[in-house]
Amino acid sequence: MEAVQGAKVVVTGAAGGIGAALARRFAAQGAQVVVNDLDADRVKSVAEEIGGIAVPGDASSAVDEARDALGGRVDVYCANAGVGRDGGEPGEPLDEQGWALSWDVNVMAHVRAAHALLPDWLERGAGRFVSTVSAAGLLTMLGTAPYSVTKHGAYAFAEWLSLTYRHRGVKVHAICPQGVRTDMLTASGSAGRLVLEPTAIEPDDVADALFRGIEEDRFLILPHPEVAAYYRARADDPERWLGGMNRLQQQWEATR
Ligand X SMILES: NC(=O)c1ccc[n+]([C@@H]2O[C@H](COP(=O)([O-])OP(=O)(O)OC[C@H]3O[C@@H](n4cnc5c(N)ncnc54)[C@H](O)[C@@H]3O)[C@@H](O)[C@H]2O)c1
Binding site for ligand X (CB under 6 A): 12-13, 15-19, 36-39, 58-59, 80-83, 105, 132, 134, 177, 179-180, 182-185, 196
**Residues 33, 63, 126, 217, CA torsion sign:** positive
Rounded to a whole number of angstroms, the minimum distance from the CB of residue 14 to ligand X is 7
* Of residues 185 and 221, the one with the C-beta less far from ligand X: 185
* Of residues 38 and 245, the one with the C-beta less far from ligand X: 38
* Of residues 80 and 140, the one with the C-beta less far from ligand X: 80
Q: C-alpha distances in angstroms, 247 versus 34, 141, 145, 146?
A: 44, 13, 17, 21
If we measure between CA atoms, which residue out of 134, 162, 127, 166 comes closest to residue 150? Answer: 134
Calculate the CA 8 to chain-centre distance. 19
Rounded to a whole number of angstroms, the minimum distance from the CB of residue 138 to ligand X is 11
Q: C-alpha distances in angstroms, 194 versus 24, 107, 141, 172, 247?
A: 30, 26, 11, 31, 13
Rounded to a whole number of angstroms, the minimum distance from the CB of residue 165 to ligand X is 22
* Of residues 83 and 210, the one with the C-beta less far from ligand X: 83
Rounded to a whole number of angstroms, the minimum distance from the CB of residue 82 to ligand X is 2
Rounded to a whole number of angstroms, the minimum distance from the CB of residue 6 to ligand X is 26
* Of residues 183 and 217, the one with the C-beta less far from ligand X: 183
Which segments of the chain are extended strands (E)?
8-11, 32-37, 53-56, 76-79, 127-132, 170-175, 220-221
